[in-house]
Amino acid sequence: MPARVGLGLIGCGGIARSAHLPAMAQLADHVELLATADPNADAAAAAASGWGAAAFTDYRAVLEHPGVAAVVIASPEYAHPGQVEAAAAAGKHVLCEKPIARTLQEADRMIAACARAGVHLLIGHSRRHTRRYHEVRAAIDRGDIGTVRLFRENERRPRGHPQIWWTPAHWTGNPQISGGAPMMNAIHETDLMRWFIGAEASSVTAEINVTIEGNVGVTDFISLTVAFANGAIGSAEVLNCAPPGYPAFHQMELYGTEGAIRARDHDITGLTRFKDSGADVPGHYDMLLHNLPAYARQLWELVDAIRHNRPLRMPPSEARAALAIALAAVRSAQIGETVMLSDGGVA
């Protein structure tokens, strides 16, 4: 194994610039970016420039690079299946942004392709790598709050923030290719519910809405309640349509048989400015869950698994299970009924 693991980057947009590239830089003693790809040639070149990497507009050129051992796929979810399957066929390990895919069938193909090729597939559920949730998981494992009976998380983001898109001018605002709040955001909540409750979901009830003016059909609000096989309940509310200036905000609460845990972002946001244009919380987006340490830990998980030929702590089946709950939530909202889940996904 070379001193540094050779990486390729597929997709050089916002999440690559704000999270994955800084994570690579933090782990520069252990990884080397050798090739980048994006349909936007300027974006690919900008991502490659700090490393002297090759830049392409076709992702397949990254997979053909002989020094690339693993790829970070930071493209929109609709591109994940084809790119992951191609990476597996090329013998490359994969860190792929969440959600794993848009359908369970796509997820199954991706997982099977990587298993056949003997390569790792790590799905980027970054919140599993935050210090906050590591501590929550450790508290649960110690029995600090007994058996978890209720999980609740609220996530709110403002419209119009430069790092939060959700406009028709960006792919996240295109209903033909974007899953909106259920897939971009609530997939985190469905994953954390399972991780902390420690059981499989049995049913989902949800409501969704489209509220942002100018939105052309992408869901920007979801409220869901999940019943788990062990009797626990998970609930979440996610919106991307708060007024401009509203601080990005997360609050999670766990209630167990012997205690409770609460983690809320405002505990670390100590400054608010009020201007004619509205309220401003400087740096709040960078200070919250979207943070460099989580993405560096996430990348290190893949690198360390490659080096030591060990299983990933979060196998891709976990990301598939989170997707199944999110898809059931969307279906529940569409038909106005509770949706039951089977072992394979939506019943």
Are the beta carbons of 13 and 46 closer than 8 angstroms?
no
Mean pLDDT over all residues of the chain?
88
**pLDDT at site 258:** 93
Q: pLDDT digit string (tens) for 318-343?
A: 999 999 999 999 999 989 999 999 75
User: What is the DSSP code string of 295-331?
Assistant: HHHHHHHHHHHHHHT---SS-HHHHHHHHHHHHHHHH
Q: pLDDT digit string (tens) for 175-233?
A: 777 778 888 889 999 999 999 999 999 999 999 887 655 556 778 889 999 999 999 99
Are the beta carbons of 36 and 12 closer than 8 angstroms?
yes
* Burial group, residue 21, by CB count within 10 angstroms (0-12, 13-18, 19+): buried
| Homologous superfamily in CATH for domain 5-124 | NAD(P)-binding Rossmann-like Domain (3.40.50.720)
Q: Angle at the Cα of 116 (from 110 to 122), degrees rounded to 5?
A: 45
Spatial separation of the C-alpha atoms in residues 302 and 195, rounded to whole Å: 19
Within 13 Å, how many C-alpha atoms sit on residue 282's CB side? 5
* Burial group, residue 80, by CB count within 10 angstroms (0-12, 13-18, 19+): buried
Q: Which CATH architecture has domain 128-289+324-341?
A: 2-Layer Sandwich (3.30)
* Burial group, residue 5, by CB count within 10 angstroms (0-12, 13-18, 19+): buried
Within 13 Å, how many C-alpha atoms sit on residue 119's CB side? 23
pTM of the complete model beyond 0.75: yes
Q: pLDDT digit string (tens) for 39-58?
A: 999 999 999 999 999 999 99
pLDDT band at 289 (very low <50, low <70, confident <90, very high): very low
State the virtual CA torsion across 42, 45, 49, 53 in degrees, nearest 10: 170
Tracing tokens 């050798």 back to the chain, one arrives at 34
**pLDDT at site 266:** 58
The pLDDT > 70 percentage for the chain reads 85
Spatial separation of the C-alpha atoms in residues 345 and 260, rounded to whole Å: 30
User: What is the DSSP code string of 127-175?
Assistant: GGGSHHHHHHHHHHHHTTT-SEEEEEEEEEEETT-TT---STTSGGG-T
Quote the tokens at residue 334.
């569409």
Helix (H, G, I), strand (E, B) or coil at 38: coil
Domain ranges of the chain: 5-124, 128-289+324-341
